Chain A
């Protein structure tokens, strides 16, 4: 097995993942340089979520290896570096917005959890409902809180699974500005998405998965700016 390239933020080598006998990921090889934004594309069931979950250390592959800044995804240094925004919002309904953010700030070992929580509540325009329980929030407010939860420890790598799905306009604008800011600050972003237009505004690289196989990985083709579906038509299977 080859060594991890020193410049790789995230390195995936010969990765296989099976669900029973079904290979969800087949021999995936990916090198993602720091400061890039990779849009992970593919139809439903292509293996995008599985790949992101393995990168986030939520499951282990049967074969192969993932390195996050040179560490195993389960290593605390890797987990310190990751911000995850999955399908669920990952915050507690029975806690207030402020309590949720304080909780995660403490879990990430941040120095001033109260200050960080207050800062992010303001940035996500939730400061007026800081003490309200999340269960009383609208969907858009819950999504904004989830974004704050994923960003509050200034992660070096952001793993986003369908981040624009079900977001309202305000949350999309907020997320895009935060992602643009993070990218500018040198963070590495990997997002699986079906919303190509939103993703193409940020993506510097794209990867296309089909039935667990990586069909394309590289810089975002210029054709995709005009026609986001170009990659599907050129490399996808129908």
Chain B
């Protein structure tokens, strides 16, 4: 019970800080919208082409915009040496990690929920045709990106070039989750059923989340303390 309370305390603190400053949320939402707008000007795709690339475009936007949120996750603790106060507190490193991941997850979902309607309007897509299937894809893939981003944010927090290093480290790690999310999202926003062959992508998302969450929770103390 104490563990859960500590996790929620950390998540609440991060969300409260972000709501006050909006330093990463504003940047991520603006970035996502700008990319969608620019892309709609840059190419004039036919309806079929849009159908094919919809999932890919959306998840690339989510991944790039998400990096802006994830970069700040541990970096926000550097001011006033707050990271030392957190690490020295009795909050287990895993609870600290999960709390931060939970806050990042909420922030990434906000970015996605703003970007999706913009995508729908700009590309003339009714993206919410299968909300009950799209929601688990969004949740599972976003959690996968969040876990990878949060643990690498902890790993790179003391690097001078962390803004550059984090994307370089996380995108290769996110390839499986992005591949699965892109394929499933393409099908779902086009209102197509998921063929039996493609159901494996759901299992990949679940497996990825379980494996990387377990790894991150186990390794985060070593990452933070050495």
Contact = CB atoms under 8 A, between A and B. Distances in A.
Which DSSP category, helix, strand, loop or mixed, fits chain A's interface? loop
A107 B13 CA distance: 11
A76 B90 CA distance: 5
A57 B90 contact: no
Using C-beta atoms within 8 Å of the partner chain, give the interface range for chain A: 20 to 34
Contacts of B21: 94
A90 B84 contact: yes
A103 B82 CA distance: 12
Interface in A54-90: 56-60, 74, 76, 79-80, 82, 84, 86-90
B130 interface: no
Interface string B106-127: 0000000000000000000000
Nearest to B221: A74
A106 B88 contact: no
Contact of A106 (B9, B17, B225): B9
Contacts of A87: 81
Contact of A92 (B13, B84, B226): B13
A100 to B, nearest CB: 9
Contacts, number: 84
Contact of B9 (A60, A90, A107, A149): A107
Contacts of A219: none
A164 to B, nearest CB: 17
B9 A58 contact: no
Interface string A90-119: 111111000100011011110000000000
B79 interface: yes
Interface of B: 2, 5-6, 9-10, 13, 16-17, 20-21, 79-82, 84-92, 221, 225-226
Interface of A: 53, 56-60, 74, 76, 79-80, 82, 84, 86-95, 99, 103-104, 106-109, 133, 149
8 contacts: A58-B225, A74-B221, A79-B88, A84-B88, A90-B81, A91-B82, A103-B9, A108-B90
Given A59-B226, A89-B80, 16 more contacts: A60-B225, A79-B88, A84-B84, A86-B81, A86-B84, A88-B79, A88-B84, A90-B80, A90-B82, A91-B80, A93-B79, A95-B16, A103-B13, A107-B10, A107-B90, A133-B20
